[in-house]
Amino acid sequence: MNTLNTFPSNPEGRDFVVGDIHGHFKLLSALLQRLKFDGERDRLFSVGDLIDRGPDSVEVLDWLSQPWFHAVRGNHEQMLIDGVSGNGDIPRHIRNGGAWLYELAPQLQKELAKALQTLPWIIEVDLPDGQTIGIVHAEAPLTQKGDDWQQAKQALSGQLGEICRLRALSMTLYARGKIEEQNHDSIKGIHRLYVGHSTVPNVTRLGNVVYIDTGCSFGDGALSLVELNSETVTYMTMSQ
């Protein structure tokens, strides 16, 4: 697994980022059809939590095999990896929507874990206008006050020591501090950062951090996509 995957600009098509999917791949397919998504030209990036809670989690293997689909690792991917490896808290995973996994054949469980282990913690996407967009699951791992995006990446890659790496990893997968504090400070060194994990009623921006998990695993929620160049939001509710 790479800490960071980077993508050059896509002048021939559109780039989208999608909120937490949580096993609702049929809903995502319908949303892409609405947008006339073209897999030959367009790209789709994900903030993680592809699996659990929804009905189509096992389809994650098909989606990850698509050359136009790219995701970071979320805490639900990590729970699956840990559960299959024997290092996880399986009852906790089951309580959080992971029961489907343990009903599968062991070989398929291992195949899922192997695929999800390849997902990076961070994705960066260059835009045609020269801006760079960041994607992480929960929150930028700013482990020290005053850290910028470059220092966050260094912390996560282990360049600042193991204690700092573990703290950065926890922040990347689980942190909610910025949104709980309604902190509007921008993260220096990145133009915009897209995150999921913390459910919001609508796509929400704090400084240059954009929260796009609009709760598609809940009855009153929706799955939201943002087109990176125009910042246009498109969503589909669970009832549609």
Could you give the residue numbers annotated as active site? 76
Where is 144: in which H helix or E strand?
A: none
Where is 224: in which H helix or E strand?
A: strand 222-227
Q: Which of 91, 28, 18, 19 is nearest to 59 (CA)?
A: 28
* Cα separation, 72 vs 215, whole angstroms: 18
Residue 171 and residue 139 in contact, taking contact as beta carbons nearer than 8 Å? yes
Strand ranges in 58-203 using DSSP code E only, listed in sequence order: 69-71, 122-126, 132-135, 192-195
Residue 127 and residue 228 in contact, taking contact as beta carbons nearer than 8 Å? yes
Q: From the CB of residue 184, how many other CB atoms can be counted at a distance below 10 Å?
A: 11
* Cα separation, 27 vs 13, whole angstroms: 22
